[in-house]
Amino acid sequence: MKKIILMGRVASGKTTLTQALRGEAIHYHKTQYIQHTDVVIDTPGEYAETQHLGRALALYSYEADVVGLLLSATEPYSLYPPCCTTACNRVVIGIVTHTDAPDGNPQRAENWLRLAGCRTIFHVNSLTGEGVKDILNFLREPGDPPVE
């Protein structure tokens, strides 16, 4: 499988999605440092929110095949500037999280990710598993069995 690095603000759902992608039980865990697993690189939200720490994300993206930009459907604004994906030499996908939040707006989050340059967008709910298999199938390499 291709390796994905997950980037996004604090509480955007990166660690929960990491647990869901790995088939683990979902439990709250604050990511304090960049964590490598077999398929996922989980990053602290502070790295995406702080200019100097953001440079580390650029470096760690070279260890992944795919960059996943997460944006919660509950966000009042986008962390990602327009066309920012053009600065990356990896495939960049958008992942809308918290799609079932009553105060969320998944379509607005998707529009912001498209404005950032993401051509492929996934809507996920890591707690129910909605959209998780779609991401795993996207990460499949030739010869990998499909995720069902």
Radius of gyration of the chain (CA): 14
H or E element that contains 95? strand 91-97
pLDDT > 70 fraction of the chain, expressed in percent and rounded: 100
What's the CATH architecture for 4-100+121-138? 3-Layer(aba) Sandwich (3.40)
Q: Which segment of 52-66, 95-109, 130-144 scores lowest on mean pLDDT?
A: 52-66
pLDDT at 40 over 90: yes
Task: Compute the mean pLDDT over every residue in the chain, rounded to the nearest whole number.
Answer: 95
The pair of structure tokens assigned to 36 is 């490598």
- How many other CB atoms sit within 10 Å of the CB of residue 129? 12
**pLDDT, mean of residues 45-72:** 93
Domain coordinates of the chain in residue numbers?
4-100+121-138
pLDDT value at residue 63: 95
25-54: b or e for each residue (b if 16 or more CB lie within 10 Å)?
A: eeeeeebeebeeeebbbbbbbebbeeeeee
Q: What is the pTM of this model?
A: 0.95
Between CA 62 and CA 7, with CA 52 as vertex, the angle to 5 degrees is 50
At residue 139 the predicted structure's pLDDT band, cuts being 50, 70 and 90, is very high
pLDDT value at residue 7: 97
Which residues, other chains included, contact 76 with Cβ-Cβ below 8 Å and sequence gap of 6+?
A: none
